Each structure stands twice: as C-alpha cells, then as structure tokens.
Amino acid sequence: MSAAVIRPGATLGLLGGGQLGRMFALEARRLGYRVHALDPGHDCPAGQVADLEIRASYDDVYAAEMMARNVDVMTVEFENISAETLEAVAKICPMRPGASVLHTVQHRMREKRFLSDNGFPVTPFREINTAVDLKAAVADLGLPAILKTASFGYDGKGQQKLTPGIDLDAAFGALQGQQGILEAFAPFELEVSVVAARSATGETIAFEVAENDHVNHILDTTVLPARIPTDIAREARRMAEAIAVALGMVGVLCVEFFLLPGGKLLVNEVAPRPHNSGHATLDACVTSQFEQQVRAVCGLPLGDPALLRPAAMAQLLGDLWENGEPAWERLLAFPDVKLHLYGKVDPRRGRKMGHLTVMGDTPEAALQRVREARSALTA
C-alpha cells in the first residue's frame, strides 16, 4: 500500500475540539504542522492551541467542506460524526480514518457484528428493537446482562445492568425509542486496553497494554504496563493490531478488553481515535499516541511506542472544583508529577478537566504516587 507523504509544514484538519484534539494539535505543531479545528463550541480545548478554530456543527456539511479545501488531510477527535459530513470531506481531501471505519464503530450493533464476523471474541449479544426482542434476548442470554443504546454511548451513558426480577418493559422504555443491544454479562477480573496505530502506508504498531480502573463508569486510573501475564499482553496487542488491519484503519484506535478468569480476552469496544487510557504515553513513551496519530494520518513512518518506565495516569474530573479551585501548588510540590489541564472553563461534575502522569520503578509505585498527588489537590 502506498500513500503520498504529508510533510511538516502542511495543514491538518481536525473534526472535534475537545481534549483529545488539543493534545493532537500540540503534538502536530511540535512537528511543524498547522492545525485547523472544527467544533460547535466557543474557545474549545483544541481551538485554544490550533492555528484556526472553526465554530460549526458536525452536521454542517458546508463548513466541513470549506475546511477540507484549506487542509491537506482530515482526522477526527471522536467518532460520532455523520456519514454525510465524512463522505463530503473525503471528496475534497484525504479523510483518515475513513467514513466506513467510523460508520462501523459508532454503532454498537455494527461494531459487534464486525468483530464477531471477523473472528474476534466478544460477549454474546442480541439486537433489541422491541420489548418482545428484549424479553426473548433475556430468555436466551440470561441475567445479569447489560442493555445499551446502539448509538451515542460513552462513559456509561445509555447503559443499564439488568438483574433478575427487573421490569423489562421499563428497561426497554429507558431506551427512549433508540435501537438497543443486549450483551451477556462478562464476569471479568480486569479491564485492559491497547492503543494501536496504523499508517496510511499500512504499517501497524501497538503500545503496551494498559490496565484500567473505572469509577462511576468513567476512567479513573490507568497503569502501564498492565499487571498481566506476558502471553496475555502479547495476545491483546496482536488482536488490537489485527482489528486495525481488518477495519482498514488509518490513524490511532483503542481496543478495550475484558480479561476473564483463566486468561481469556473479550473485546468490549473499539474507539477509532486516541483514548484516555493512552494519556500516559505523552510522558512515559518514546512516541505518544497523539504523535503517532499525526504520523499515521500523514503517511510518515510510525514512531517507537516503547514504554520508558512504568507509569500511571489519574483523571482529574470537575468534582475536584466543588469546594473551589484545586490547590495546584500542593500538587506541583510533587516534582515527578506531570500535570495536563485541558483548558475547560466549566468544571462540571464528572467532566474530564485534565490528568496527571507519574513514572515509577514499578507499576504499583507509580499508581500509589499518582493517587497521592491527586489527593493533595483537595487536602
């Protein structure tokens, strides 16, 4: 596979202006690229550091087309962008990843079918369009099970855990007219993820496996490398790379896995973009996930994803602001802690405002240190 190289000095277009776009833009500018970011909001995190901030809706095809005419390649910060917008952009400039990739992974039923059809292990699932479908699926898969909306779900939104005795009609009603998917409950021991990159040239590389801990369905801490056996880590990385190839991905994706008792891996979800479980790569790897995204979409050789030292990341949510501005000076008294704030001015509860990264001699030491540092903010 060959592709024209988009060299430093060119202009990269970004659909999405949140924190992932901000970190992408910073890495792109460090490499000498210009960045234009499109986002519906004003003063968005990516817009603060981009060369041009375009305020428009993601379904504003005209705005996306005008942007595409002034950039050399377009990429995305998140997956829920309409196919009409993506296809319109692709007629003007390279769109990486392509509309077909995003069409697959932005809908849980399409994603699960793609994974299953291509031989990747997933928990059993059923499509839910009616209350009758739900009752039949529960009879088939049993309870507990997880009922999700097929579209527009993240950080636990649009998900319900169904347990014996639940009112299935009410559970179906909570879908609010959206198509659903019922997934058999996976009795996992650990949640892990792998960020992988695939270049416009077909080169594919995965980062170390990340070990993730969630609180209220939002990622709280990540440890690199995951504390799992070497053979399981190798298989997770192999699967992430294989999924990138099967999708025809160009860019960076994250594959989330459930690790079951006995060492079996199930693919939970695929995100066709950088992921918060990969944030530690900014400080702890030779090449970060965001630099890798730049390299991939520009057709450049991919960078070395090697982990320099064990590391841990802790998310900073808007909850930390509930009693006033966090005590940044106490945090920064930890000389080994790296602080990344996203430039968001409204610290709502549960909103991702930034993250911390710490490296240590062991994963356990890094995790303990990053938790201590975060606690100092509100001590």
For residue 248, the surrounding DSSP H or E stretch is none
Query: What is the separation of C-alpha 377 from the centre of its chain, rounded to a whole number of angstroms?
Result: 26
Q: Using N-to-C axis directions, what is the helix angle for 108-117 and 230-247, rounded to 10°?
A: 110
Residue 151, pLDDT above cutoff 90 = no
- Distance separating alpha carbons of residues 61 and 79, to the nearest angstrom: 16
Q: Do 224 and 358 contact (CB within 8 A), yes or no?
A: no
Q: What's the pTM value of the predicted model, to 2 decimals?
A: 0.96
**In which residue are the tokens 């008294």 written?**
333
Asked if residues 311 and 327 have their Cβ atoms less than 8 Å apart, the reply is no
For residue 172, the SS3 value is helix
In whole angstroms, give the CA distance from residue 292 to residue 94: 17
Where residue 1 falls among pLDDT bands split at 50, 70, 90?
Answer: very low
User: Sorting pLDDT into bands at 50, 70 and 90, what band is 3?
Assistant: low
**CA separation for the pair 317, 126 (Å, rounded):** 34
Report DSSP letters for 179-231, one per residue: -EEEEE----SEEEEEEEEE-TTS-EEE-PPEEEEEETTEEEEEEES-SS-HH
The verdict on domain 124-184 having CATH code 3.40.47.10 is no
Quick one: DSSP state of residue 149? E
Instruction: Report helix angle 83-90 to 61-68, nearest 10.
Output: 30
* Token pair for 303: 């960078």
pLDDT tens digits, one per residue of 244-293: 999 999 999 999 999 999 999 999 999 999 999 999 999 999 999 999 99
Residue 63 CB: number of other CB atoms within 10 A? 16
Answer yes or no: CATH 3.40.50.20 is held by domain 11-95.
Answer: yes
**Residues of the chain with pLDDT > 70: what percent?**
98
Spatial separation of the C-alpha atoms in residues 311 and 369, rounded to whole Å: 10
Residue 225 and residue 366: Cα distance in Å, rounded?
A: 11
- In DSSP terms, which residues pair with 36 in a beta bridge? 13, 52
Give the three-class secondary structure for 49. Answer: coil
| Domain ranges, ordered by start, for the chain | 11-95, 124-184, 190-376
CATH topology of domain 190-376: D-amino Acid Aminotransferase; Chain A, domain 1 (3.30.470)
> What's the token pair of residue 379?
């001590």
What's the whole-number average pLDDT of the chain? 96
